[in-house]
Amino acid sequence: MQSSLSEQEEVRREKLRELLELGIDPYPAPLYEITHTAKEIKDNFSEATMEQFQEVSLAGRVMSVRDMGKANFAVLQDASGRIQVYIKRDAICPDEDKTMYDTVWKKLLDIGDIIGVKGRVFVTKTGETSIHLTSFTLLTKSLHPLPIVKEKDGEHFDEVTDLEFKYRRRYADLIVNPSVKSTFLKITKMKNAIRSFLNERGALEVDTPVLQSIPGGAAAKPFITHHNALDMPLYLRVANELYLKRLIVGGFEWVYEFSRNFRNEGMDRTHNPEFTILEFYVAYKDYLWMMETTEQMLEQAAIATNGTSVTSVAGKEIDFKAPYKRISIYDAIKEHTGTDISEMDEDGLRNLCKRLNIEIDASMGRGKLIDELFGSQCEHHYIQPTFIIDYPIEMSPLTKKHRSKPGLVERFELIINGKEIANAYSELNDPIDQRERFEDQVKLMERGDEEAMFIDYDFLRALEYGMPPTAGIGFGIERLAMLLTGQVSIQDVLFFPQMRPEKRSEITEESAVANN
């Protein structure tokens, strides 16, 4: 039977066998004492601190080796960064037995192997902080070659750009592309800043169900599964809104959740079927208060992530500094189409969409038609953070009617760089009105709208117990992360974006980028 392994993989497996024959365990017990990281050494070593670095121990992955006969230079990469190590034959093999250098280091070690090293820190003639090794230990033998990435003067060249490779083999992408790791570290800073903002103001982080009997809280097509023990269908949540509102009914006054949501819809540069929404709900507040709070929170998150409120995305500078522009959705559509649609009925909207060559279908009611108009004609114009406010009631089945403008609701969407980042309401807390809105959604479902909402009778019952006046909001965390890290695709801010399954032949076939 012909081997499906590449030549390099075969060679590495042969090296593995040779290591075992030498009595060297290529996967030893996990405990290895680490005294320093690469970054700590490079940041703190100097003539004044030299004595503190006479005996250091660290571990990492071998990223490159320069063979100089009886001495080698190599680059070691740990979680903090990279550092050069100097390996001299007599230093690591002071006795007559030179096996660890001549055989293990020179012949059996590969780029990608993980080793532990001990030694003293010094500065080379070229001024590079390095470690002069006194010993090394093989901690993990790598059997699959890494893509080759060249480095010069701290800059990386030939970084892996093959998207199929990057997204499917994120583990390898993280190893060889330092900028990728930097992106995800920034995302962690962003999330921590948001949590700190909310926690400092008394908000309570909670968890709500992922498996739901009713896919409520958003107009979206759900994933459906089946619970065998209960013999009933269940849905992966499309939103956590209705559960968080139940907690407001129960007496909590400010709750939030980073919610993993699932929608069985299309995939593109800003949509993944599995994504994260931050939602929070605050009793006795309204959408005007929520706009001010949103501005403050996002400005703080931007500064925590990048050290400034300004970020750059695809050559565009976006400033998160408060306050943000506000414009009604009717005024936005009038500004960009020249047409006032505030008094238009469904037929008028349908005719306008046709004149503007906007693709529509018979299932779309007045709300969906307005949504299509705004999305195709207006949304892309708003690059700087902008609140689109005061939506028509047909677009917002969970939103409180506007206190002074008939036919509208107290809702806003935050648009940045031409995309919706957040959606917020003065929440509807009238159970009679809510029931009627749900029933209107059922009518849309009967017309073929797969994204129309189900009626959640338990949520209606909760509202009948009484929910205080409440403001609520949902943020697309990945979209916000794209902005604050300068990425143009949602796949670049997800560790493991959804992809088609690989065929077995594709898994065993060596990537061309790793072999070159």
The enclosing H or E element of 227 equals: strand 224-227
| 444, 438 Cβ separation under 8 angstroms | no
In whole angstroms, give the CA distance from residue 453 to residue 428: 15
**Tokens linked to 270:** 């800003």
Unique residue bearing structure tokens 């917002």:
396
Greater confidence, 512 or 209? 209
Burial class of 57 by CB neighbour count within 10 A (0 to 12, 13 to 18, 19+):
middle
Contacts of residue 175, defined as CB under 8 A and 6 or more positions apart, other chains included, come to: 61, 77, 112, 146
385 contacts 320 by C-beta, under 8 angstroms: yes
Contact call for residues 77 and 64 (beta carbons, < 8 A) = no
Q: Judge contact between 207 and 237, C-beta under 8 A.
A: no
- Check residue 502 and give its pLDDT: 80
In degrees and rounded to multiples of 5, residue 137 shows phi and psi of: -130, 130
Within 68-216, strands assigned E span 71-78, 81-88, 114-123, 129-140, 150-152, 155-157, 204-205, 211-212
Task: Give pLDDT tens digits for 88-116.
Answer: 999 999 999 999 999 999 999 999 999 99
Contact 219, 301 (CB under 8 A): no
**Tokens standing for residue 169:** 């083999």
For CA atoms 327, 330, 334, 337, the dihedral sign is positive
Residue 512 confidence (pLDDT): 41
> CB of 183 within 8 A of CB of 492?
yes
Distance CA 446, CA 43 (A): 65
Contact 226, 234 (CB under 8 A): yes
- Report how far residue 446's alpha carbon sits from residue 365's, in angstroms, rounded to the nearest whole number: 12
Q: Which helix (H) or strand (E) holds 261?
A: strand 254-262
Average pLDDT of span 19-30: 96
The SS3 assignment for 266 reads: coil
Cα–Cα distance measured from residue 387 to residue 317, given in angstroms and rounded to the nearest whole number: 18
pLDDT of 499 > 70? The answer is yes
Give the per-residue pLDDT at 24. 96
Mean pLDDT of the 48-56 span: 96
Domain ranges, ordered by start, for the chain: 7-145
Average pLDDT of the chain to the nearest whole number: 92
DSSP per residue, 57-92: EEEEEEEEEEE-SSEEEEEEEETTEEEEEEEEHHHH
Q: Does domain 7-145 have CATH number 3.40.50.11810?
A: no
Q: Residue 471, Cα to own-chain centre: how many angstroms?
A: 26
**Number of C-alpha atoms within 13 angstroms, CB side, residue 61?**
16
> 3-state SS of 18-55?
HHHHCCCCCCCCCCCCCCCCHHHHHHHCCCCCHHHHCC
Q: Using a pLDDT cut of 90, give the percent of the chain over it.
A: 80
**Amino acid at site 181:** K
C-alpha 426/C-alpha 391 separation (Å) is 12
Query: What is the rounded distance in angstroms from the CA atom of residue 106 to the CA atom of residue 103?
Result: 6
Is 157 a residue whose pLDDT tops 70? no
The confidence score (pLDDT) of residue 156 equals: 53
pLDDT at 504 over 70: no
What's the pLDDT tens digit per position in 397-449? 888 999 999 999 999 999 999 999 999 999 999 999 999 888 888 887 788 77
What is the spatial distance between Cα 313 and Cα 269, in angstroms, rounded to a whole number? Answer: 14
